[in-house]
Amino acid sequence: MATPDLLNPWQILTLFAFLLGLGLLWYYVQRNKSGLARRMGQHRRIKVTEVAALSPTDRAMILTVDSREFLVLRAKGSAPVVTELTQGAA
């Protein structure tokens, strides 16, 4: 009685081709990561402009949403407070 092969040559070739393609994709991303990051971030509407730690558990963040800025205060144990920043505020 003949025993079937666990891996035939086509399976090995397919695995090799997949790993080669994955390696080439990784190489392309590594060489072009700054340009790719810039292109991918173009259409984002929400950007974190600045984050400041007020304490180990509290944060103040400035978010830019569609060219409007918001101050977000986040404290442990309470809901975040969101306030829109206006141009005249100092």
pLDDT score of 15: 95
pLDDT tens digits along 50-83: 999 999 999 999 999 988 999 999 999 999 999 9
Quick: pLDDT tens for 8-23: 888 999 999 999 999 9
Domain boundaries, the chain: 9-40, 46-85
Distances 44 to 47, 57, 68, 84 between C-alpha atoms, Å: 7, 27, 13, 19
Which is higher by pLDDT, 7 or 79? 79
